[in-house]
Structure 1
Amino acid sequence: MPAQDDTRPGVAPSPEVVRDPLYDVVDPESFTPRLLALLSNALVWRESQELRREFGLGTNEWRVLSALATRPGSSASEVSEFLGVNKAIVSKSVNTLADRRLIALFDGPRGSRPMHLTPSGAQLHHEMRPISMRGQEVILAGMTEAEIAQFNTALLRMLALIRTAD
């Protein structure tokens, strides 16, 4: 006899399912990684919605533009590493930006493809930047300059630790 499918709506769960909360759960209101993820997701969602509405581009394209604004001549691999995102995401964004003539790709040494903003890309970066900066304003609201410096130092320390963690 086949096992009962407990995932279908309207089907009673078998007696073997866990019906009560476990005793050793992570408290969702004080688990810092969850809270950071929720904050990040909310900021990215808000930013992406605004960028798509105003410019027809999302957060991933903004991140590539921003990376090239600070690191002109970077390759897609270098942008991917700098942003800490999958190369496929960067590749898709690069194609979108190149198709819209917001970035230019060149042939570089050893098969690399250095990228630069076009004048239109630089102008768009300038226009998109305030939307991204609103997220920072939300995070830092009410903090003093000293608290902001301490907070950023702690975040950078955590990033360094996570990069070396096993």
Structure 2
Amino acid sequence: MSNSAAPEFVLADFLPYQLSVASNAVSNRIADVYRKEFGLKVTEWRVMAMLGDAGALTQRELTARTLMDKVAVNRACKVLAERELVRRQPNYRDGRSHLLELTEAGQDMHARIVPRARAIEEELLDALGEEQAGAFRSMLEEIRQKAG
């Protein structure tokens, strides 16, 4: 039974749905490169990208910064360690955790992936033009901040 006083709900117009679909489309476009050429899953690349950007982090810090599920981060870290792309180091600030950092092989792979990912990003943003792309980034950040 529908309530005629309730506003119409169209999933395709719902912001979380639009963001999710757009995010998945962009991620999948870039993921094709690192899956086919480097054998990485999305979660593994996100961990590598964060470590490449921030340096050594704990799994808890990786989970917080990537907003990924801790089980997904744990699996990604395990796979990357098995492939010797990351290494675990003692965390002298907190003996209960380890710091993860890219190995030399991980740094090399990261350095090869980043230009490819940036080229795809540039290709996608070219559709907006420089001014709109900057405004788009600002709007995304405002929405992310507002969402918490």
The answer as to 2:75 corresponding to 1:120 is no
Q: 2:84 is paired with a residue of what secondary structure? A: coil
Q: Which has the higher contact order (CA 8 A, sep 6+)?
A: 2
Question: Secondary structure of 1:74's partner?
Answer: coil
Structure 1 segments, 4+ long, off by >6 Å, are: none
In structure 1, list runs of 5 or more residues that go unmatched: 1-17
By percentage of residues, which structure has more helix? Answer: 2
Q: Percent identity?
A: 24
Tell me which structure has the larger Cα radius of gyration.
1
| Aligned CA distance change for structure 1 residues 144 and 44 (closer, same or farther; 3 Å) | closer
Specify which of 33, 37, 54 is matched with residue 71 of structure 1: 54
Tell me how far apart the structure 1 counterparts of residues 3 and 109 of structure 2 sit (CA, whole Å): 50
Q: Find out whether 1:133 has 2:133 as its counterpart.
A: no
- The alignment of Structure 1 onto Structure 2 pairs a total of residues equal to 144
Distance 1:161 1:70, change over 3 A: same
TM-score by length of 1: 0.76
Q: Deviation of residue 139 (structure 1)?
A: 3.8
Quote how far apart the aligned CAs of 1:135 are: 4.6
Give per-residue Cα distances to partners, 1:81-107, cap 9 Å, x unaligned: 111111111110000111111111111
C-alpha distance in 2, partners of 1:22/1:118? 59
Q: Which amino acid aligns with 1:140?
A: L
Unaligned runs of 5+ in 2: none
The Cα RMSD (Å) is: 2.2
Q: Secondary structure at the match of 1:56?
A: coil
Q: In structure 1, what residue type is equivalent to 2:77?
A: V
Q: Secondary structure at the match of 1:114?
A: strand
- Normalising by structure 2, we get a TM-score of 0.84
Structure 2 letter corresponding to 1:56: G
* Residue 97 of structure 1: aligned partner: 80
Distance 2:27 2:17 in 1: 15
- The DSSP-based 3-state class of the residue aligned with 2:44 is helix
Which residue of structure 2 lines up, in the alignment, with residue 87 of structure 1? 70
CA contact (8 A) 1:107 1:114 kept: yes
